Amino acid sequence: MRADIVVFPGSNCDRDAEIALRAALPGAEVHRQWHAELDLAGTDLCFLPGGFAHGDYLRAGALAARSPALREVRRLAERGALVLGVCNGFQVLVEAGILPGAFQANTSQHFVCRDVHVRVETDRSPFLHDLAAGDVLCLPVAHGEGNFRLTADEYERLKGEDRIALRYCLPDGGDGPGANPNGSVMGVAGVLAQGGRVLGMMPHPERAAWPEVGRADGMRILAAVQAFAEGGCR
């Protein structure tokens, strides 16, 4: 299996992603690639990391979405490979039109950096096939523009197509005050493209992939893709 991490000027989670993927995918080739020299031939998983790509000028992810690298990422997704965009990577996928929606500043108008709980809404994705709808994960967030927006029609379409991957929740899996850290519509924390092979999510699984320190829920997402790449996952 081969995993490639796209590095933009301003990315700051690419090293975390590399270390976590090496731990989650034993035996896999894991590479960081500069966006201007991107070669995704043979890639099974493309990871768009967190950070502030191109300084998040104009809007978070807007300039990176217009990089030639995103044409390569789009082609990769179209041929059925896996794409995971985390935090700023999620924003880039949205700005590129690979995933629906838009992002605004957190409703608090403050940068949010803390652990949150998210509820799995579907297992119809290679990233989530080892989980079940209703499972609760504890993952960290770190963002200032994490307020994910959808129109009413977009939301209903994604819900009807089972493409809402994760929602913010309370530790017991329920909804309530304090569950949503940024004001995202209906508490949506992650969404899927058609077919489930592209996942965008605001929480950072690569920062919660370490059983040694009691933070391993992210490993349940990252490790799940190896079975798919080896032909053992639907």
- What is the C-alpha separation between 3 and 228, in angstroms, rounded? 13
Partnered with residue 199 across adjacent β-strands are: 84, 192
Instruction: Tell me the catalytic residues.
Output: 87, 204, 206
Please tell me the distance from the alpha carbon of residue 130 to that of residue 127, in angstroms, as a whole number: 8
Burial of 130 from C-beta contacts in 10 A (0-12 / 13-18 / 19+) = middle
Residue 57 zone, left/alpha/beta (φ > 0; ψ -120 to 50; rest): beta
Distance CA 223, CA 160 (A): 27
Q: Within 31-133, where are the H helices?
A: 68-78, 88-95
Alpha carbons 189 and 180: distance in angstroms, whole number: 9
Cβ partners under 8 Å of residue 131, min gap 6 = 120, 123, 137, 220, 221, 224
Q: Decide: 11 and 89 in contact? Cβ < 8 Å.
A: no
Instruction: Please answer whether residues 62 and 90 qualify as being in contact, where contact means their C-beta atoms are separated by less than 8 angstroms.
Output: no
